[in-house]
Chains A and B, each alone.
Chain A
């Protein structure tokens, strides 16, 4: 039964010794103040906001999404139109070349016929002259 009482007494003593009043050493306050003056003053920097924080607003986010989608659609439409125009142009070029080829080949045909007549005529004349001289 005595054991708990003794323990309580010991704790009391320990508390008394730990919380006993002690005199401040001489020059303590001056030393603390001197050290505080030596330390550089802490300046508070303004908080940095990341660039994408701008898009955290829902309205801005939606506006950006709409703008990107619209530009993608416009770009793809423009690209498709350019491709279509190019395909039409290529087809027109082929038609033009075909037309010029047909026209050119028929002109050549006419030319070859005329040349054929021109070459066959002197031959015929020569043959008739030869037969006349023989007779």
Chain B
């Protein structure tokens, strides 16, 4: 009887808390969403926890990069990556990027890196979300002249390990490259 009460209390709590839990979701501004129509190449990867676990089963234990990836994703809750590549510069406005950045404000998010480069026009922002002094998520917004990238990873993540997977000296180690004008949708999650 007691356990039933506990369960019902928990379900009521979850029901009440769901709007607050959903509040953590990050939404791409509609203007940014529209960029896919003008972009030369668009990449969208959405993977939630079970999907990540399932995909990691196919990672090879012999490949060092895949081995690192398997270790990295085992406790992640979700990954969302959106990348736009354009033919020309100025395909998006700084206001659109600013709308995106404005969603990540203290105390929930803390900006650890904010680079503004007037010389080459490469602007990068990295935000961390901490829970009980532990890493609970990372957001990367990279606005380059011909490229706009948004990354949101939810869950405890080793930043150094993630950076290692980016290749060495900007040279990608990835064997496959997305084909032109391809939208890679793995799973439709709750992200928008």
> In the bound complex, how far is the Cα of B140 from the Cα of A104, in angstroms?
10
- For this complex, 16 residue pairs linking A to B, each with C-beta atoms less than 8 Å apart, are A89-B55, A90-B58, A92-B54, A92-B186, A93-B59, A98-B43, A98-B178, A102-B83, A104-B163, A107-B140, A107-B159, A108-B163, A109-B124, A110-B113, A110-B142, A111-B163
Kindly identify, within residues 88 to 135 of chain B, every residue whose CB is under 8 Å from any CB belonging to chain A. Answer: 113, 115, 117, 122, 124, 126
Closest beta carbon of chain A to B82's beta carbon, Å: 9
Which chain B residues border A107 with CB–CB below 8 Å?
126, 140, 159, 162-163, 166
Encoded as 1 (CB less than 8 Å from any B CB) or 0, chain A from 86 to 120 comes to 10011111111111111111111111011001000
B170 at the interface (CB under 8 A from A): yes
6 closest A-B pairs by beta carbon, nearest first, are: A104-B166, A105-B166, A92-B55, A104-B165, A99-B45, A89-B58
Known contacts being A100-B165, A106-B124, is A114 close to B55, with CB within 8 Å? Answer: no
B69 at the interface (CB under 8 A from A): yes
Do B162 and A89 touch across chains, with their CB atoms under 8 A apart? no
B181 at the interface (CB under 8 A from A): no
Secondary structure class of chain B's binding surface, majority of residues = mixed
Supplied contacts A93-B56, A105-B170, 14 more A-B pairs, CB within 8 Å: A92-B54, A92-B55, A96-B52, A96-B79, A96-B186, A98-B176, A100-B162, A101-B167, A107-B140, A107-B163, A107-B166, A108-B166, A110-B124, A113-B113
Known contacts being A95-B186, A97-B69, A113-B124, is A104 close to B162, with CB within 8 Å? Answer: yes
Encoded as 1 (CB less than 8 Å from any A CB) or 0, chain B from 54 to 73 comes to 11111100000110010011
> In the bound complex, how far is the Cα of B79 from the Cα of A93, in angstroms?
13
Do B69 and A109 touch across chains, with their CB atoms under 8 A apart? no
Which chain B residues border A108 with CB–CB below 8 Å?
163, 166-167, 170
Sorting the interface of chain B by its residue count into under 10, 10 to 19, 20 to 34 or 35 or more gives 35 or more
From the candidates B51, B52, B140, B166, name the one contacting A101 in the complex (CB within 8 A).
B166
Which chain B residues border A106 with CB–CB below 8 Å?
124, 140, 142, 149, 151, 166
Chain A contact residue count (CB 8 A cutoff) = 27
> In the bound complex, how far is the Cα of B140 from the Cα of A117, in angstroms?
19
Closest beta carbon of chain B to A118's beta carbon, Å: 12
Q: Which residue of B lies closest to A112 (CB)?
A: B170
B1 at the interface (CB under 8 A from A): no
